[in-house]
Amino acid sequence: MSSDVLKLPNDKLEDGQVLRLYSMRMCPYAQRARLMLAAKNINYDLVNIDLNNKPDWFFDLNPYGEVPVLLHNGGCVYESLITAEYIEEAFPQPKFYSDDPLVRAREKIYFNHWTKKGIPAFYSLLKVGYPDPEQTKRLEEHVGIMDSFLKKLNTPYFHGDQVGFPDYMIWPWFERAPVLKDITEFNISPEKYPHLSAWINRMWKDPAVLKCMIDPQLMIDHYQFYRTGKPDFTLGAAKPAPVQELLENLDGLRDPTTRDRQK
């Protein structure tokens, strides 16, 4: 399913694939779409984009030049929440949103709060790179609000008794919480956040979460680059091996026609 070969929008899908998703391996926003596709067991073509080296045609798909971008039935969808909602509506089974409009609105409140308040606080502390009191307090406030949502709901998940749409929209940043702890000592402890900690433990047992999980070491490496302002979006990609070059003479000089050549 996954490919580091850059495919054009009109390139043919393989047999059984129903759509193409342009993503980036480490991107939590694109992971929202991947979680939904995994949860619905949809066979698709996953194409990873190097966000430092985006082709010109990618801006024709999304003028912001961001992932995810989903191509399906001749159409193009982008923006992470819009893309995830499209997947929910275009592939209605299994269902991850409530039929009750009031419940559905409440679920949107949960993941919208995290999107608008929690995520900026998460990245502000991550960029500081140490236990900054002000930024730590800011993130604690919004993690606490997420914990209070679950406490008031008194259910295992933000969706209710089963994992659902709001859970998948919130999850990617909590998968990254251990990296944040390593860098800034910010810890989501059961003592301080009992409901959210229990939710995290449950989410780690979800098949879609396990299918879409990112190698922890790759995540650590990615955020080390991210904090320098020079992220490497090709981490984890299959890269060509250098051509083995024969010594051309006793001085060890290489044939200049093969110098630095890649397969």
Do the Cβ atoms of 211 and 38 come closer than 8 Å?
Answer: yes
Q: What is the pLDDT of residues 5-17, one digit of tens each?
A: 899 999 999 999 9
Rg (the chain; Cα; Å): 21
DSSP state of 46: E
DSSP state of 142: H
Do the Cβ atoms of 163 and 201 come closer than 8 Å?
Answer: no
Percentage of the chain with pLDDT > 70? 89
CATH 3.40.30.10 in the chain, residue ranges: 2-94
How confident is the model over 105-125, as a mean pLDDT?
97
Nearest one of 42, 168, 158 to 93, comparing CA atoms: 42
Percentage of the chain with pLDDT > 90? 78
Say how far apart CA 4 and CA 22 lie, in whole Å. Answer: 10
| CB-based contacts of 197, cutoff 8 Å, min separation 6 | 188, 189, 190
Q: What is the pLDDT of residues 160-174, one digit of tens each?
A: 999 999 999 999 999
How confident is the model over 197-223, as a mean pLDDT?
94
Residue type, 248: E
Check if CATH label 1.10.600.10 holds for domain 101-212.
Answer: no
Which stretches of the chain are assigned E, i.e. beta strand?
A: 2-3, 20-23, 45-48, 69-72, 75-78
CATH 1.20.1050.10 in the chain, residue ranges: 101-212
Cis omega (within 30 of 0) for bond into 68:
yes
Helix, strand, coil: what percent of the chain each, to 5? Answer: 45, 10, 45
Which pair of structure tokens corresponds to residue 121? Answer: 């606080």
Mean confidence (pLDDT) of the chain: 89
Q: What is the pLDDT of residues 138-192, one digit of tens each?
A: 999 999 999 999 999 999 999 999 999 999 999 999 999 999 999 999 999 999 9
- Name the CATH superfamily, with its identifier, for domain 2-94: Glutaredoxin (3.40.30.10)
Q: How confident is the model at residue 133 (pLDDT cuts 50, 70, 90)?
A: very high
Q: Is 233 exposed, middle or buried (0-12, 13-18, 19+ CB in 10 A)?
A: buried
How confident is the model over 65-80, as a mean pLDDT?
97
Say how far apart CA 240 and CA 153 lie, in whole Å. Answer: 51
Annotated catalytic residues are 27
